[in-house]
């Protein structure tokens, strides 16, 4: 029987990072955090893919983690994205997140230089050994070019600090095998909004969500319904939200969700290159979907 405790069950928001005139817009960010908490999300993930962590400076990365912890003030767990393709840097950033009071870490697989499966075990074990809070692995092969194998997952699940994974491989058969092989030694969260309920039906505990940025209450409700045994209702919500979910991935995340948040009045539609604004015709397609869901007029 595993002694590992889940960091959260339900919905965690992979939160955007709002920018204004090239800097992090903390006024907008604070309001976004309040919108999330008021919506009933179960955790906040800062400095993930959706937070444009790749283009944050080291100082910004540390500062926004610290700000998030302070602002959220223990109302929900704060999960800090501190992964890197440089193990030493990931350890440094992860230690800082521990020091400032983050509740858990989100650790993406090394990108660009990639790693062998043996290298992945060494990389994640080194971070887990150096940190004092739960580690969540993040498998997103479409972005990193590397996939964590079942055998590697099984090996990593033995580490007491490695408690979960965010699975964004999109491969339901693979994730089913992962849940079967690792059980409670490694909890699973969906990394894809279009697969929340399918993966929860296999044993996943919830989602780390892009959709929750614009619909925190609805996303939290969908996962809560499932956890409360209202499986059919949760599945109906998944289907009902599918067109909106697909629209949020019409181009590279987080471009559409940030465009949506800007249109909803939360922030400026400002991204850091190489991410850039969509063409007007794509904006209109997105706005049309947002209107259909009652998010804008």
Residues annotated as catalytic (active site), given as ranges:
138, 166
* Block residue for tokens 């908490």: 37
Give the Å distances, CA to CA, from 241 to 112, 212, 214, 256. Answer: 33, 11, 12, 15
Full DSSP string of 21-86 = TTEE-HHHHHHHHHHHHHTT-SEEEESSTTTTGGGS-HHHHHHHHHHHHHHHTTSS-EEEE---SS
Question: 277, 278, 279, 296: which is closest to 288 by C-alpha?
Answer: 296
> Pairing mode, if any, of strands 23-24 and 78-81?
unpaired
Cβ-based neighbour number of residue 246 at 10 Å? 13
The 3-state secondary structure of 229-277, one letter per residue:
CCHHHHHHHHHHCHHHHHHCCCCCCCHHHHHHHHHCCCCCCCCCCCCCC
Structure tokens belonging to residue 225: 């319904």
Question: 148, 150, 147: which is closest to 182 by C-alpha?
Answer: 150
Structure tokens belonging to residue 217: 């209450």
Give the Å distances, CA to CA, from 143 to 15, 47, 96, 115, 200. Answer: 18, 16, 25, 14, 23
* Block residue for tokens 């409700």: 221
Give the Å distances, CA to CA, from 77 to 133, 189, 290. Answer: 12, 15, 29
Question: 207, 208, 262, 215: which is closest to 241 by C-alpha?
Answer: 215
């Amino acid at each position: 029987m595993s002694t590992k405790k889940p960091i959260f069950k339900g919905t965690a928001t992979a939160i955007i990072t709002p920018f204004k005139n090239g800097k992090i817009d903390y006024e907008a960010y604070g309001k976004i955090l309040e919108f999330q908490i008021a919506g009933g999300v179960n955790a906040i993930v800062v400095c993930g893919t959706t937070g444009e962590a790749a283009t944050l400076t080291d100082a910004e990365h540390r500062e926004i983690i610290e700000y998030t912890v302070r602002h959220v003030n223990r109302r929900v767990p704060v999960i800090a994205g501190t992964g890197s393709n440089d193990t030493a840097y990931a350890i440094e950033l992860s230690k800082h997140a521990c020091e400032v009071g983050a509740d858990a870490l989100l650790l993406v697989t090394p990108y660009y230089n990639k790693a062998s499966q043996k290298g992945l075990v060494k990389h994640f074990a080194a971070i887990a050994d150096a940190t004092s809070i739960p580690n969540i692995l993040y498998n997103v092969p479409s972005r990193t070019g590397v996939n964590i194998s079942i055998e590697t997952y099984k090996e990593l699940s033995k580490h007491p600090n490695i408690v979960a994974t965010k699975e964004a491989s999109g491969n339901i058969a693979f994730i089913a095998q992962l849940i079967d092989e690792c059980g409670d030694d490694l909890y699973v969260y969906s990394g894809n909004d279009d697969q929340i309920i399918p993966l929860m039906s296999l044993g996943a505990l919830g989602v780390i969500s892009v959709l929750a940025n614009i619909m925190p209450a609805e996303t939290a409700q969908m996962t809560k319904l499932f956890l409360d045994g209202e499986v059919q209702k949760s599945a109906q919500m998944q289907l009902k939200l599918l067109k909106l979910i697909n629209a949020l991935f019409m181009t590279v995340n987080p471009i559409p969700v940030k465009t949506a948040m800007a249109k909803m009045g939360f922030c400026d539609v400002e991204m850091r290159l190489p991410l850039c604004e969509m063409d007007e015709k794509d904006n209109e397609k997105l706005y049309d979907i947002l209107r259909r869901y009652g998010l804008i007029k």
